[in-house]
Amino acid sequence: MTWYYVVGGQSVGPVSEVELDALAQNGTIRPETLVWRDGMAAWEPYSSVKALAAAAPVGGGLRVASPAADPASGGSAAADLAACSQCGTVLPRTDLVQI
């Protein structure tokens, strides 16, 4: 399973579960860092999803992230994001073509 995380208001990834855990151990990912993977409806803090990660359902297609706190904008709503169903890259929804 691959994960994405937010640093400086930008999504980073994909990274593997092992890489995500290593990033958390070295302090790159903090408990409040927003993370997302396919099957999640929204970006959520690392601390709230890590324990549930193995149990979360995995699905295909586009998954739209609902607005969440954007660390770069001081807590304002983040732009709608979606993961490309082909490559998994998280992009603004307006940059994707829905099929």
What is the chain's pLDDT, residue by residue, as a tens digit (99 residues)?
899 999 988 999 999 988 998 998 899 999 999 999 999 999 999 988 876 544 444 443 333 343 344 444 443 334 465 556 655 566 566 777 776
Q: Parallel, antiparallel, or unpaired: how do β-strands 44-45 and 10-16 relate? A: unpaired
What is the value of pTM for the model shown?
0.52
What are the C-alpha distances in Å from 54 to residues 2, 21, 51? 12, 13, 7
CA 2 to chain centre: 10
Q: Any idea where the domains of the chain sit in the sequence?
A: 2-95
